[in-house]
Amino acid sequence: MSSMPIDAGAAQKPVGMANPASVHCGAIGGRFVVRKDKAGNEYGFCRLPSGRLCEEWALFRDNKCVGPKVAMHRN
């Protein structure tokens, strides 16, 4: 068994691949926003120029705006 040194900085380097749902949000003029529920779970949303807040993956996949009340209460 050989031991290899661990590059402490490697874990902090970006992977180089952006989240396609977040990229789509920016491409349509939106701004990526993270919301947390009471349990601390994080959800990604896109704040559209109109002010609407849409779950980013539903917007990317289906071009549908699913708001935080619905998105954050799915099991």
Q: Is residue 32 part of a domain?
A: yes
- CB of 65 closer than 8 Å to CB of 51: no
Please give the residue range of the domain that contains residue 53.
Answer: 28-75
Q: Is residue 19 part of a domain?
A: no
Q: Is residue 7 part of a domain?
A: no
Q: Is residue 14 part of a domain?
A: no
Q: Is residue 22 part of a domain?
A: no
Q: Is residue 13 part of a domain?
A: no
Q: What is the pLDDT of residue 28?
A: 97
**Total tally of structural domains belonging to the chain:** 1
Confidence band, pLDDT 50/70/90 cuts, at residue 13: low
- Report the first-to-last Cα separation within the chain, whole angstroms: 43
Of 8 and 68, the one with more pLDDT? 68
Q: Is residue 11 part of a domain?
A: no
Exposure string for 17-48, b = 16+ CB within 10 A, e = fewer: eeeebbebbeeeebeeeeeeeeeeeebbbbeb
**Which of 43, 52, 48 lies closest to 24 in space, CA to CA?**
48
